[in-house]
Structure formats: structure tokens, C-alpha cells
Amino acid sequence: MAKPRVLISDKMDENAARIFAARGCDVDVITGDTPDQLKARIGDYDGLAIRSSTKVTADILAAAERLKVIGRAGIGVDNVDIPAASAKGVVVMNTPFGNSITTAEHAIAMLFALARQIPEANARTQAGEWPKNGFMGVEVTGKTLGLIGAGNIGSIVAARAIGLRMKVIAYDPFLTPERAIEIGVEKVALDDLLARADFITLHTPLTDETRNILSAENLARTKPGVRIVNCARGGLIDEDALAALLDNGHVAGAALDVFQTEPATASPLFGKPNFICTPHLGASTTEAQVNVALQVAEQMADYLVAGGVTNALNMPSLSAEEAPKLRPYMKLAENLGSLVGQLAHGALTEISIEREGAAAELSGKPITGAVLAGLMRRYSDTVNMVNAPFLAKERGLDVREVRHEREGVYHTLLRVTVATEQGPRSVAGTLFGAGAPRLVEIFGVGIEAELAGHMLYIVNEDAPGFIGRIGSLLGDNGINIGTFHLGRRDTGGEAILLLSVDQPLPEAVVGQACALEGVRTVKLLSF
């Protein structure tokens, strides 16, 4: 089996390449490519490790025929077209914790620099002045710090600020009351934060919901004399509005490490009173750069070699330790999704994935992703766990996950139900022996079968002679039967036959099967 090939296209710690090699990957370090050069090169690689310089556009992804994973050594992935990567089936990972302390410390440093006007005082002193009476700072002790975003970095800033005897309030829709108590902050609405905070720091990604969160309107709601720090993402603040409020004194100071346009060679903020800035240095410490390089190499190698998924932005996480345990379930889930997708007619509006018994104790997201990967193959032959949820959402499919704590007839069970124009259609499966996936129910009929290769699905009247007729038909046409599975609702009622064959059936043979006495439905299946 060929080794996975990885391209490191941005400068990062040399130990990253060593980790890839030690984990069984072939790795090339080629930095400084133009977009056209990268486009010409990327088709040879399974993995792409980047920092902020490489721009992974839809055009680049279109040429990435083998690419399975993109790893960003750092937090921000503004330079990766994630929707295009998802549609292509490429996992996008980042390293959200490798530079958290570094970025949080930079925010605190900027806060102090604002409070005591250190940069301007330094510049004038070094220019030969002694402006001892020209700078009147403020203490941070006892002041209220407002966090916009209380995730990993925000919580570290909160801990440092609490240590400085500041009161910390936080606006974050995802912050639970329990977590707020745990990190020692008061959870508030955004309007409340704007009205109360003496200092505001931002620690949120740039999304459609957070873009321009400090708009002109919101900036006008801030407490007079507020000081604002942004070491998160450019685009969170209306820079023109902030410049105007610095001019009129409503905002007493602002410190930015990030800008809406970078490199920021010009800005309406440059030259404004008590404005300080740094050129996106939040993650720029020796320790952080080593950490994120090592982490991205470990994460990407885990995925390429062992199937582990860590810190992925477009698919569920799955550790290298969990992967072997979940693999048979994911195979079963994919087969069930594929089966119901091949048999259900018309447009699908809803899918329910139920886990029962031992399956209920496992992570549900990877199983759901596998079911959708199987189901979505009715629409695309390039679908996988990454782009399947994307395709399902694109088609308006309502996806529901149900976990049952009870254990039924089977020790472990997965059930997949889709809503069709004819009503709900459900299939179920379990694991036999050493994790062997088995179908155990189809559309309410109990039937045990292995789903593999080329199969024939037949619904017929339960009457004597049918098995002989279908066997003779296939034998007369040189079709060898591999396995043969029967199930029925009631004696003399509707029966289901699932059989595997060594090769796909010609259309003429399918037509002959449809014409057999008692046959209601014939469907070719492939797994």
C-alpha cells in the first residue's frame, strides 16, 4: 500500500516534517508557490499542511484529485474555502489550542499598553522628550472587562483578568450558565456588555453572525471612555466608525492586532489618538509556532494513517483510539444508508438514525456521517463522510439522531428511516461475531443478510415454486448465486428475497425476473 503523500506549503517548524515521516507519510516541504504553481502540484498529494500564507481556493481544490485533508497550523481558516473543501470531501482541520495562551497573553499585553499609553510614551521618550506629565493612565484593577467570545482563548483571558482583580462579563451565545460559573464570569447580553464594560476584548471567529459585531451602531452603545482590544479576527469591528469615535473621545483607546484587510498598509485608524497596533502577532511566539506545527502534523497523520479525526471543522471528531471501535459500526451505517437510498423512491425529505443498545454508547456524529455517505450515493458517486452532510443540507434533508438507552432483541442495533412520498421506509442492522455488519430488518420484514457486492432485491408473493423459478432463471443465464436470504411478513403474504451474485445482472435478465409469476418488485443493488 502506497504511503500517504503530504505537502507542507508554508514555513513551519521542521519537526512537523519529521513527525509526518515517522508516522509513515512521504512529505515534501515546498514553500512560496504561486497559486498556479500550487494548483499544478496539488494533484499529487493526499494532505496539505499550511499556515496563513497559502490560500486554498475553490480553484486549487478543483485540481486536488487525491487530497483528503487540509491542516491549518493555527486557529484561523479564513484562507481555506471550507464549503468548497466540504463539497470536495476534504477534511479541514485547525489547531485551536496550540497558540491559545500566546494569543491570550497578547490581548492582556495590549490591554496594559492601552491603559498606560506605553507605545506613545516610549516613542516620545526615545525621541529625546521627557513627557512625564503628558500621560495619565488608568488602573485595570476594579475595572469591568467585557469578553465578546468566551471559548478557549476568551476563557484564558478571563482567568488572567480575574487575577488582575478585574470583574469579567461575557457575551457568548454558546456559553452555558455552568461554564460561566466555572470560569468565573457573568454571562450577559451584548447590549448589557456594551453599556457596562470599561475594556472590551474580542475572542470570536469571523462568521456571518460575528462579522461587524462592533458595528457603528454597537460602538455608539458602548460606555464613554471604553478601551477596545481585538486580537481575534479582522472584520469584527467597523474600522471607520471606530476611528470617528477615537477622534471624538467616546472611545478612549483601541488596540488592534488584526485588520479587515491584511497586510494593513493603510487604515483609517492609523494616527488616531491612543490607537496602537501590531502586525497580527497574536500567535507569534516560539512556543506557539512549535506547538501548532507539531499538532497539525500529528492530527493529519492520525487521519491519513489511522482514520482519526481531531479538530476538524467540517466533520465529527474521531480519535485514533475510537476509530477501530467505530469502524464496523460505520461500515454497517454506510451500508444501511446505501440500502435505503437505493430502495426508497422519489424525493426524500427526512432521515432518522436511531442507535440502540451498545451503539447508543458510541459517538453518534460519525455514525450519522456514515449513514449520510451511503444515502447520498444515490445522488453522487464522489460522496464521503465529509461532503455527505453538506449534500444532505443542500437537498433540504432534515436529519435526526435518536439514541435509545434500552437494549432490545439485539445487543446493538442501528435503524435508518427515511420519509418518502409513499410513507416511512426503515432498515435495521447489527454486528455479528467479531464486528461483522448484518442487515436484520428491511421495511418491517425480518431478514438476516450481509450487504456486499452485487445483490438482487425481489419482493414476491410467498407461494410454492418461486425459489425454483428464480434459481432456474439465473442458472439459465449463467449467473452464479453467492448467498440467498429470505424473509416474509406472513405465511402466504409478501416475501422479500435478497441474494448476492458474482456479477451485475444484464437488463434483459432483470426484465425476465420481473415477468416471473408472483413477482412485484425487482431491484439491482450494489455495495
**So which residues are the catalytic ones?**
233, 262, 280
Q: Which residue type occupies 54? A: T
Rounded distance, CA 169 to CA 231, Å?
A: 18
Q: Are 326 and 367 in contact (CB under 8 A)?
A: yes
Rounded distance, CA 346 to CA 395, Å?
A: 13
Q: Are 298 and 19 in contact (CB under 8 A)?
A: yes
Give the C-alpha distances (Å, rounded to integers) separating 36 from 5, 21, 48, 92, 367: 20, 27, 16, 21, 38
454-461 sheet: strands from edge to edge: 481-488, 494-501, 454-461, 519-526
Cis ω before 177 (30° cut-off from 0): no
Rounded distance, CA 230 to CA 277, Å?
A: 10
Contacts of 274 (CB under 8 A, 6+ apart): 114, 117, 120, 246, 252, 253, 254
CA nearest to 61, candidates 386, 485, 465, 318: 386
Give the C-alpha distances (Å, rounded to integers) separating 123 from 120, 129, 276, 389, 418: 5, 9, 12, 54, 68
Q: Are 103 and 153 in contact (CB under 8 A)?
A: yes
How far is C-alpha 208 from the chain's CA centre?
16
The total number of residues written for the chain in this structure? 527
Rounded distance, CA 259 to CA 283, Å?
A: 15
